[in-house]
A and B are shown apart, each in its own frame.
Chain A
């Protein structure tokens, strides 16, 4: 992080981020009690978690003001992470395509 940082301003931001994280936590728990379908609940829950995680990373971990080498390292990590998450999802899609093809073949007979 920059050497010439205004610590007092930083501290005010830390408290604002803390407040936002607490509100986010309350919103996550509140969303649990909403009468919505599982996909909608998943979307809401993971969206709030992603916003909270971004706040922690940007402000508490100082990523908002970091050197390029860290950004490039993290960009590479994110690419591998997405590939890792895509593997089970792709497996699921190919399984479903396989099942569909089996049904089609069975009906053709």
Chain B
């Protein structure tokens, strides 16, 4: 049995079902991170002026986090370039930009690893302070999303790209959907960076 509307648009929505599906998933993600941001606001308001002291004690590395922000922004560019390459019918360039996106995700995680290990070496753990608890919770959840996005992109850039020769539009649509997730992960970091490191 063939699943309908995987490539062609559904007459009711004007979009294929994958596109509707990924946007509904992203709305649930907005609420997931929204709940954590609301928790962050509550903890900060209720810290009785101790927030700045806890933040200073955590010794977050601003230069490393700035590099990580630039890496994620660059990965968003390579992601849209991968999609644009498929729209142009250029499989080689799609693979190049696809692997660059996965690579940027890898660099982000390596930098995050160094940041986390530096914290642990100074005995800064989630239970050490309210600030570190919410810091590890939110950046840790974000890192899990980066890992998920990397796996998704690696599949379509690697074994999934064989579909290019039989159903190019299907692959182009799926890469657009994985790109939407990847850009959302970038978007979340755009707020996490100033909220934890700078403000």
A→B interface (CB under 8 Å): 1, 5, 7, 10-11, 14-15, 18, 21-22, 25, 28-29, 31-32, 38, 41-42, 45-46, 48-49, 52-53, 56-57, 60-62, 67, 69-70, 73-74, 76-77, 80-81, 84-85, 87-89, 91-92
Distance in angstroms between the alpha carbons of A103 and B82 in the assembled complex: 62
Select A88's contact among B38, B176, B184, beta carbons within 8 Å: B38
Q: Hey, which chain A residues are within 8 Å of B176, CB to CB? A: 1, 62
Given contacts A11-B81, A25-B73, A56-B76, A70 and B15 within 8 Å (CB-CB):
yes
The 6 closest A-B pairs by CB, nearest first: A88-B42, A45-B194, A77-B27, A32-B198, A18-B77, A88-B41
Size class of the contact patch on chain B: 35 or more
Question: How far in angstroms is the closest Cβ of chain B from A53?
Answer: 5
Question: How far in angstroms is the closest Cβ of chain A from B150?
Answer: 17
Given contacts A57-B187, A88-B42, A81 and B31 within 8 Å (CB-CB):
yes
Select A67's contact among B13, B35, B186, B199, beta carbons within 8 Å: B13
Select A49's contact among B19, B42, B190, beta carbons within 8 Å: B190
Q: Could you list 19 A-B pairs, sorted by A, with CB under 8 Å?
A: A14-B77, A18-B73, A22-B73, A25-B73, A38-B52, A45-B195, A49-B190, A49-B194, A49-B195, A53-B191, A56-B76, A60-B77, A73-B27, A74-B23, A80-B34, A81-B31, A88-B38, A88-B45, A89-B45
Q: Hey, which chain B residues are within 8 Å of A41, CB to CB? A: 198-199
Q: Hey, which chain B residues are within 8 Å of A28, CB to CB? A: 193-194, 198
Given contacts A29-B198, A85-B38, A70 and B23 within 8 Å (CB-CB):
yes
Select B42's contact among A5, A18, A32, A91, beta carbons within 8 Å: A91
Distance in angstroms between the alpha carbons of A103 and B181 in the assembled complex: 50
Closest to B88 in A: A7
Interface residue ranges of B11-68 to A (CB < 8 Å): 13-15, 19-20, 23-24, 27, 30-31, 34-35, 37-39, 41-42, 45-46, 52, 62, 66
A53 close to B190 (CB less than 8 A): yes
Given contacts A70-B23, A85-B37, A77 and B31 within 8 Å (CB-CB):
yes
B76 close to A69 (CB less than 8 A): no
Distance in angstroms between the alpha carbons of A28 and B43 in the assembled complex: 23
Distance in angstroms between the alpha carbons of A48 and B183 in the assembled complex: 17
Given contacts A18-B74, A31-B198, A91-B42, A49 and B191 within 8 Å (CB-CB):
yes
| B79 at interface, CB cutoff 8 A | yes
